[in-house]
Amino acid sequence: MINLEKAKQAFAAYVKQFDVHDEQIQLKIKHTYEVMRYSEMIASDLALSDEQIKLASLIGLLHDIGRFEQIRRYHTFIDRDSVNHAMLGVEILKEKDFIRTFVEEGYDDIIFTAIANHNKFRIDESLTGDTLIQAKIIRDADKIDIFRVNSTHSCETLFMCREDEMKNTLISKEVFQDFMTHTSILSEKRKTPGDILVSHIALIYDFNYPICFKVLLQHSWIHDLLRRFEFENPNTKRVIQQIEQEILDYLNKHQFYS
């Protein structure tokens, strides 16, 4: 049995211990509820059972619970400079049976495995069955809302640079080539603020379910993100224009239903 109302109450009580006036904390609270909503949407579109839809929603609610402690300790979203927020989240959920008040023990392995996989560059190839489905759902739901977040929040919070640094950025040749060949971009390849921006947009190449492309086409998040900065470098301007056209073509091609 999964009690989503109790889960939401437990989550709300947990985040009260953090500074809710901090932009990073506010961002993650909003992001959490949006990801929960998109998880439910994807699971429903897949025609899963009511219990599996609830499970997807619950994983969406809990997937970033490690972010809040990460922000308090390190004041950053960058895992390599702080801590793996997904694994920290699993540790928090395991402490004192945090989740036992709203979900039966039989779901623990799926919940913890899906959360542990949501921020990996590639999903664990050993996953199967319901665990694989739930891991794919949370990865997709998370990425959908990341596009919203990227188009609305400050440059400092999202890309760890000032607006003027982004305006004057270059985009590395290797990052651009990876993008144009529809490849997700390893963080180790990112050398400039522009590389970080492009790597965020390249998340689109890792979606699992067609409904995600339909959602992105219903919003202007990618367009807004690419147009929010007045790039000074002529080559950067050309690259961004090519990226925008490539993304539009890719979205239109992949919005079908299987």
Note the pLDDT tens digit of each residue in 87-121: 999 999 999 788 999 999 999 999 999 999 999 99
| Residues in Cβ contact with 249 at an 8 Å cutoff, skipping those fewer than 6 apart | none
- What pLDDT does 192 receive? 96
| Domain identity same for 160 and 125 | no
Q: Is 43:57 a contact under the CB 8 Å cutoff?
A: yes
Tell me which residue range forms the domain holding 72. 1-153
For residues 205-214, average pLDDT = 95
Q: How far is CA 230 from CA 137, 218, 226, in A?
A: 35, 24, 9
Last residue of a domain, one of 97, 121, 153: 153
Q: Residues of the chain with pLDDT > 70: what percent? A: 99
Assess contact for 78 and 72: CB atoms under 8 A: no
Q: Taking all residues of the chain, what is their mean pLDDT, rounded to a whole number? A: 95
Average pLDDT (123-144) is 98
Q: For residues 128 and 192, state if they share a domain.
A: no
The predicted structure's pLDDT at residue 258: 40
Question: For 170-181, what is each residue's pLDDT tens digit?
Answer: 999 999 999 999
In terms of domains, do 166 and 138 share one?
no
Instruction: Please state, for a pLDDT cut of 90, what percent of the chain lies above it.
Output: 87
What pLDDT score was predicted for residue 131? 99
How many domains in the chain?
2
φ, ψ for residue 181, nearest 5 deg:
-100, 15
129 and 159, same domain (yes or no): no
Q: Is residue 164 located within the same domain as residue 72? A: no
Residue-wise pLDDT for 141-186, tens only, equals: 999 999 999 988 889 888 889 999 999 999 999 999 999 999 999 9
Q: What is the CATH classification number for the domain harbouring 43?
A: 1.10.3210.10
Mean pLDDT lowest among 78-82, 102-106, 200-204, 228-232: 78-82
Report CA torsion sign: 138, 120, 27, 221: negative
Distances (CA, A) of 40 to 84, 93, 108, 111, 131: 25, 21, 19, 15, 16
Note whether 144 and 38 are same-domain residues: yes
Domain termination residue (choose one: 90, 121, 153): 153
Q: Are residues 26 and 70 in the same domain?
A: yes
Q: Does the pLDDT value for residue 257 go beyond 90? A: no
245 in the same domain as 185:
yes
Comparison of pLDDT for 252 and 26, the residue scoring more: 26
- Compute the chain's Rg from CA coordinates: 18
Residues 55 and 139 reside in one and the same domain: yes
> Which of 103, 135, 153 is where one domain is finished?
153
pLDDT score at 12: 97
The stretch 57-76 carries a mean pLDDT of: 97
Same domain, 204 and 119: no
Whether residues 137 and 204 fall in one domain: no
What is residue 256's predicted lDDT score, i.e. its pLDDT?
Answer: 57
> Considering the entire predicted model, what is its pTM?
0.94
Question: With 50 as the cut, is the pLDDT of residue 140 above it?
Answer: yes
Domain check: are 175 and 137 in the same one?
A: no
Mean per-residue pLDDT for 245-255? 88
Q: Which residues contact 2 (CB under 8 A, 6 or more apart)?
A: 51, 54, 55, 58, 102, 103, 104, 107
